[in-house]
Amino acid sequence: MSSRAYEHPADRSALVALRKLSGFDTVFKALSGLVPERSLRLLFLSDSVRVSDEQFPHLNHMLRDACWILDLEKVPALYVTQDPQPNAMCIGMDEPIIVLTTGLVELLDEEEMRAVVGHEVGHALSGHSVYRTILLFLTNLAVRLAWIPLGNLAILAIVTALREWFRKSELSADRAGLLVGQDLQASMRGLMKIAGGNHLHEMNVDAFLKQADEYEASGDLRDSVLKILNVLPRSHPFTAVRAAELRRWATSRDYQRLMDGHYPKRTEDRDASVGDAFRDSANHYAQSVKQSKDPLMGLIRDLSNGAGDLGGKLRDVFTGSGSTTTDERPQGSGDHGSQEQPGSPASGEPEDGPNP
């Protein structure tokens, strides 16, 4: 199986383009020689527990099962590290390693953990660990160089770009986790626990997903701007949004085709079309804008369709007055599609909190 089978359109287009650049990975790794990868490996080897048949055997079984389902030939090393914060990540330049915190292991049940392990194996198969390691390194470097204004700004620009890509990659990895676990409810519960802790009897998946609907639709244009500002420093999309996006994909024709055994092979990756990948990404964003309930997306729709009263529209969306929904607009303003929730763009970076 090629990782293209489950990669989110925005993530896939970036990865296909990078893979098509001759020698990109070689140059990228050469430039990343400053990354203390050997030090990281020694750190986990000396101060964490390596999963095996003798240690955390149930996690070892999940890992091997995930690699078999996703056709990842070389099984990555998996470590459990003492940290009460639920977290997981896949890092490494030459060979990926997966790290789970004790907080995460203690929080999730077996089926929920299976989805998380599949999520991390998906990162490994997609080659995300290389760029993830660079992101961690640059984030730490930016903190150290905060006293150098220009140098810090240059690094932060790269970090911001990498975070934008990595947020898309999380949506891809969520899909890989579902392919491994093949239990949508378990994936939903896992994301809900990451958001609200180990109080499953006090939570409800349907109510949690309604939060994503409310988040997408509520507020005015000011709230739309605040949403962008809130997500910029994060490496992960918001948890409720990830859950809604995963549920939408699980009910799609693409997912059903994968489950029926129809998927691209890695032997075909060399012939993958960059143009097709970018078209898929563009179509995804166009559909998201068309279906979105967000006031900012509504304004973009109106501008693209030549809204008549632009001044009034701007006033309404900034102040929350008036209507931004298609059902209440005059007939002449056009029908912009259904009002279903859009496909909002989905391990863990320490500064982001509990987000495997």
What is the rounded CA–CA span in Å between residue 86 and residue 348?
A: 9
Beta carbons of 248 and 343 less than 8 angstroms apart: yes
* CB neighbour list of residue 73: distance below 8 Å, 6 or more residues apart: 67
The residues that bridge with 99 in the sheet, in sequence order, are 79, 89
SS3 per residue for the chain = CCHHHCCCHHHHHHHHHHHHCCCHHHHHHHHHHHCCHHHHHHHHHHHCEECCCCCCHHHHHHHHHHHHHCCCCCCCEEEEECCCCCCEEEECCCCCEEEEEHHHHHHCCHHHHHHHHHHHHHHHHHCHHHHHHHHHHHHHHHHHCCCCHHHHHHHHHHHHHHHHHHHHHHHHHHHHHHHHHCCHHHHHHHHHHHHHCCCHHHCCHHHHHHHHHHHHHCCCHHHHHHHHHHHCCCCCCCHHHHHHHHHHHHCCHHHHHHHCCCCCCHHHHHHCCHHHHHHHHHHHHHHHHHHCCCHHHHHHHHHHCCCCCHHHHHHHHHHCCCCCCHHHCCHHHCCCCCCCCCCCCCCCCHHHCCCC
Going by C-beta distance under 8 Å and a sequence separation of 6 or more, which residues neighbour residue 290?
Answer: 301, 336, 337
Radius of gyration for the chain, computed over Cα atoms and rounded to the nearest angstrom: 21
Q: Is 120 a catalytic residue?
A: yes
- Which one from 7, 120, 170, 245 is the annotated catalytic residue? 120
CA distance 193 to 106: 11
Which residues are known to be catalytic? Answer: 120
